[in-house]
Each structure stands twice: as C-alpha cells, then as structure tokens.
Amino acid sequence: MRSTVAAPKARVARRRVAPRLPRLNRRRLAVLAAFGGLAALLVWFFVDDRFYVQTVEVEGLRFTDRAAVLQQADLYGYSIFWVNGREVARRVEALPTVKHATVRALLPNRVRIRVTEREPVVLWVHNGEARWLDQEGLMLPVADATMSLPTLFDQDGSTVLGDDRVHPEVVNSVAELHRHLPEVGQFAYSRERGLHFTLRSGALVVLGDSQQLAERVRHLIALQSTLAAQRLTAREIDLSQPGGYTMKLAP
C-alpha cells in the first residue's frame, strides 16, 4: 500500500521595508530645512556686531561740516542691512550747502556718502548780514570768509523773493558782470535803481530791475567793447529804461 506524504513548504524570507514617506512630505521637509537655515543665517547677520555700521566715508566736502553730515545721516548703531540709501541721502540733502547726495552701503560695515555741494557765486549783504548765494539764488551760510566773491549790497531788501532766496536773475547778472569786468567787485540793488555799480573809471552804471536784466547785461558788455575800441570813456550809463540807453561821456 502506497502512502503519499506531502513535502514540507519552503519558507520564504521576508524583509522588513521601512515605510516610504510621500514625495510631497519630503519636499516640504527640504524646504523647511532650507528656510530654517536661511532664517538662522539672517538672524546671525542682523545680530552680529561685525555687520553694524562702524565706518562712514564722506566725499566731496568743501564748505559743509563733516560732523553735520554724520549727524544728518544718523548711521552709527544700525545694522548695515537696515541702511536705506535714499532716506539717508534725503536727510543729508536737507543741509543748506548740499545740493545732491548718494549713499552706498558696503559690506560688512562701511557706508560711503558722496556729496555735491551748492557752489557760491555771489556774496549777498543786507543790514550787516552776509550770506552766500548759489546760481539758483539760494542763501547759504558763509563757510569761508576769505573766499573772494563779487559782493551784492541789497540796500532795501528788494532782491529777496522769500524762503531764503534771492532773485536768480540778479545773482547770475552780478556773476556775469564780474566775469567780464573783474575789476568791479561790488554791486548794489535798490527798488529805485535796480542793479547799479561803479566802473573803475568812476562811471556810474544803472541797469534797472530784474526784468530782462540778463539782456541789459549783454548790451552793456557790448557797449563797453565799443567804447574801448573808440577810446571813449563814459561818465554815466543808464540802461534801466526799455528800448535803449542814455550815456554821458567824460570830457
């Protein structure tokens, strides 16, 4: 009698496989890790003393006090990453002698300020008060008493437009006259005569008020050339009236 015995079943070895995270979760973890690292880096930048402003370089100063620029800039004690160049430039430009400023932050802790100053062209005097004037007629403090500039004596305050500004056509006319007549260093202005002055020869020149003053200045310069070519000397020249001039010649 035959008996049939079943062969034992072979055991299959099974490996335990670690559960796999969903791909989306892995990406999130990577992003969070990167963000955490960046945040730690930023915190380090902002709290590390090495990134706080330690040096402020100021360029372009002739008349403006450096201490005044530093006070207006107000940079020391701030992180270099908090420096707003436009805002700092705006504060520096509030100084009367500063026309334009640019500000650049330089890692790790330097700031460079470049200043373009207002250029004085005339010294204005009224009631004993002296101020510099730039080409726009803006009044500036006198920063260098030894600087040689043509002087405009405002005899009755009639050159002032307000807001610390003098009529720019008067200012530029004085500067232009001084360029062509360097021997004349003093000019005067009043409501009655407008701009007037005395030549080295002693001749009185009256140019009148600020209306079309630049044109009358050009007329006077051309007239002076004509007189010199003809070897004539004027005793008085009046160009204050529209449409022409009157002149008295010296004997």
- 218: domain CATH number? 3.40.50
Query: Do 146 and 212 lie in a common domain?
Result: yes
Query: Do 82 and 107 lie in a common domain?
Result: yes
Query: Do 72 and 141 lie in a common domain?
Result: no
What is the per-residue pLDDT for 10? 53
Domain-ending residue, one of 64, 94, 117: 117
DSSP sequence for the chain:
-----PPPPPPPP-PPPPPPPPHHHHHHHHHHHHHHHHHHHHHHHHH-GGGB--EEEEES-SSS-HHHHHHHH--TTSBGGG--HHHHHHHHTTSTTEEEEEEEEETTTEEEEEEEEPPP-EEEEETTEEEEE-TT-BEE----TT----EEEESSSTTB-SSSBB-HHHHHHHHHHHHH-TT--EEEEETTTEEEEE-TTS-EEEEESSTTHHHHHHHHHHHHHHHHHTT--EEEEE--STT--EEEE--
What is the per-residue pLDDT for 1? 44
Give 12's pLDDT tier (boundaries 50, 70, 90): low
Structural domain for 139, as ranges: 122-249
Query: Do 82 and 178 lie in a common domain?
Result: no
Q: Is the pLDDT of residue 31 over 80?
A: no
What is the per-residue pLDDT for 182? 95
pLDDT > 90 fraction of the chain, expressed in percent and rounded: 74
pLDDT tens digits, 198-223: 999 999 999 999 989 999 999 999 99
Count structural domains, the chain. 2
Query: Do 128 and 53 lie in a common domain?
Result: no
Q: What is the mean pLDDT of the chain?
A: 87
Nearest-angstrom CA–CA distance, 127 and 159: 13
Q: Is the pLDDT of residue 197 over 80?
A: yes
- 54: domain CATH number? 3.10.20.310
Query: Do 108 and 151 lie in a common domain?
Result: no
pTM value?
0.77
pLDDT tens digits, 48-104: 788 999 999 999 999 999 999 999 999 999 999 999 999 999 999 999 999 999 999
Query: Do 70 and 184 lie in a common domain?
Result: no
Residue 6 lies in a domain: no
Identify the residue with better confidence: 250 or 117: 117
What is the per-residue pLDDT for 243? 76
Query: Do 126 and 244 lie in a common domain?
Result: yes
pLDDT tens digits, 88-138: 999 999 999 999 999 999 999 999 999 999 999 999 999 999 999 999 999
What is the per-residue pLDDT for 244? 84
CB 120 within 8 A of CB 92: no
What is the per-residue pLDDT for 95? 96
Residue 4 lies in a domain: no
Residue 193 lies in a domain: yes
Query: Do 156 and 80 lie in a common domain?
Result: no
Query: Do 129 and 245 lie in a common domain?
Result: yes
Nearest-angstrom CA–CA distance, 53 and 38: 22
